[in-house]
Amino acid sequence: MTTNILLAGFGGQGILFAGKQLAKTAMYSDLQVSWLPSYGPEMRGGAANCSVIISDEEIGSPLVVTPDLLIAMNLPSYDKFAPNVVPGGTIIYDSTLVSTDRVRDDVKACPIPATGIASENGLDGMANVIILGYLLKITGLFEYDKFLEYMIASIPPTKAALIEKNTKALSLGYNFA
Amino acid sequence: MSKKVLMKGNEAIAEAAIKSGCLHFFGYPITPQTEISEYMAKRMPKVGGLCLQAESEISAINMIMGAAASGSRCLTSSSSPGISLKSEGISYIVGCDLPCVIVNVQRGGPGLGSIQPSQQDYYQATKANGHGDEHVIVLAPNSVQEMAQLTSEAFDLADIYRMPAMILADGSLGQMMEPVDFELGSKREIPEKTWATNGTYGKRKKNIINSLYMDPNELEKSVLARFERYAEVTDKEVKYEEYKCDDADIVIVAYGITSRIAKTAISAARAKGIKVGLLRPITLWPYPKKPLRALADTAKHFLVVEMNMGQMVDDVKVATECKKPVSFFGRTGGVIPAPAEILAEIEKIAGGLN
């Protein structure tokens, strides 16, 4: 079983971080994983995206062209990548920033107003973690507790204050109905 | 939790170098390999080594010459245009018979080109890193694990054969993260560096390291002696991977990241009943001629896939003695081919075979 994930948004939304958390959890779950960022001049304030492939087999091309799962954190990313999602695939998008009437009926569309939820709860800049929580709920890719454990483990001791915020953000996403 | 760590390819090279006992790093920043310098700047002081950002690539490679002459394990890294700048120094290092490891995380060219991944330096790496009759061992990893493992092997090979070894990677391998296990490094026996200019302590004759000869006959003798070593490397150190070649009508020849994209295309082609395999050279110099020659008896067609305009095609033709047709598919300038594009090429060839 192979899951091709594409995460996309603005630079600064924590796209690469979110992808890295998925990759780390996959590695600790003894799965094969690759994480490939777009890198280049566009990273300075423009669009950012990364390909994450999780599999129980050897991974070939690390570049995700046709994702099974798309995380779109802004409208340009949604418009650019939604058409490439495989039929039957899933699109999770931040509906605070993506208002669209272009909805495909052959994919599972999962909107969550992550940026809105973040600012209502004093968690500005953590829409990415809220989306990760929602992703766990929607896809069942990893167990919630396991994911949380590895996420906390990757927070350096000097930033211990972030543990509580991340835990709250993940939980808000997971329990979003 | 496993003992594996999630790392970028560039970081894996740097950590593997340190784990291999590399104590000197000289470099100059350039995308997409700057993480190597960054990592070295952070880690080297902690292991008692030295990381120095030189004023240019030319300066860095000449610092390598000095460090290598003193017997130190040393590393320099750059990306395509920076490697071109190093070429004079590489030739001098070869002429002095010094071991060192050089990393090229390739980007699009020619010129300043692009910062995206490419394999456009194949000719340069395998045929002419510098002037004069010279070779360097060229290793082409295709995963972050191999970025680490082959770096470790490169240090051993360089020391055993007293010649530079190069890691020829590309921007995608440098930037991507995958799990890596550093315990899998090379553990070969390394000869003592009796030639090093590290002080006689009054106990032996002076060692002299030099690449200038006034008498051409002397120079010829040194080149011939070096080529005897090259013959030994060619004989003993070829590395390659064969993937689903046993029953393959079509054999793709691809290295580095392209070999992985090819594997994805091969799975799709096999699902359609097309018998395709992959021969992946891991050493680009020495080149895996023998296994390719053997496959020329069983396969019907060879397809070379690279991120350049077909620089490896001639090597495949020579290795297979032109016994079967060799065609080419590639993207260049920093564009990564999609598995579907390679699959389309496979289907086109398969159509012609029937």
Interface predicted TM-score (ipTM) of this complex, two decimals: 0.93
Measure Cα distances from B108 to A38, B102, B113 in Å.
15, 19, 5
Q: Which residues, in sequence order, are bridge partners of residue B117?
A: B107
CB-CB neighbors (< 8 A) of A22 in chain B: none
CB-CB neighbors (< 8 A) of A28 in chain B: 1-2
Q: CB A35 to CB B177 under 8 A?
A: yes
Enter the DSSP assignment of A158: G
CB A18 within 8 A of CB A128: yes
| Domain limits, chain B | 5-236, 241-353
The number of folded domains in chain A is 1
Q: CB A28 to CB B2 under 8 A?
A: yes
Q: Min CA distance, B275 vs chain A (Å)?
A: 18
| A171 CB-contact burial (10 Å; exposed 0-12 / middle 13-18 / buried 19+) | middle
What pLDDT does B1 receive? 44
B142-193 tens-digit pLDDT: 999 999 999 999 999 999 999 999 999 999 999 999 999 999 888 899 999 9
Domain range for A88: 2-174
The tens place of each residue's pLDDT in chain A, 177 residues long, gives 999 999 999 888 999 999 999 999 999 999 999 999 987 665 556 788 999 999 999 999 999 999 999 999 999 999 999 999 999 999 999 999 998 877 889 999 999 999 999 999 999 999 999 999 999 999 999 999 999 999 999 899 899 889 999 999 999 999 997
Token digits of residue A98: 């993506």
Closest Cβ opposite residue B176 in set A36, A40, A65: A36
Token digits of residue B268: 């799709």
Q: Which residues, in sequence order, are bridge partners of residue A54?
A: A3, A33
CB B320 within 8 A of CB B295: yes
**Which one, of B35, B39, B15, B1, lies nearest residue B184 by Cα?**
B15
C-alpha to C-alpha distance for A67 and A137, rounded to whole angstroms: 19
Cis, peptide link before residue B288, omega less than 30° from 0: no
Q: Which CATH architecture has domain B5-236?
A: 3-Layer(aba) Sandwich (3.40)
Token digits of residue B87: 């070429």
B19-68 tens-digit pLDDT: 999 999 999 999 999 999 999 999 999 999 999 999 999 999 999 999 99
C-alpha to C-alpha distance for A87 and A71, rounded to whole angstroms: 16
Domain B241-353 has CATH 3.40.50.920: yes
What pLDDT does B169 receive? 98
CATH number of the domain to which A90 belongs: 3.40.920.10
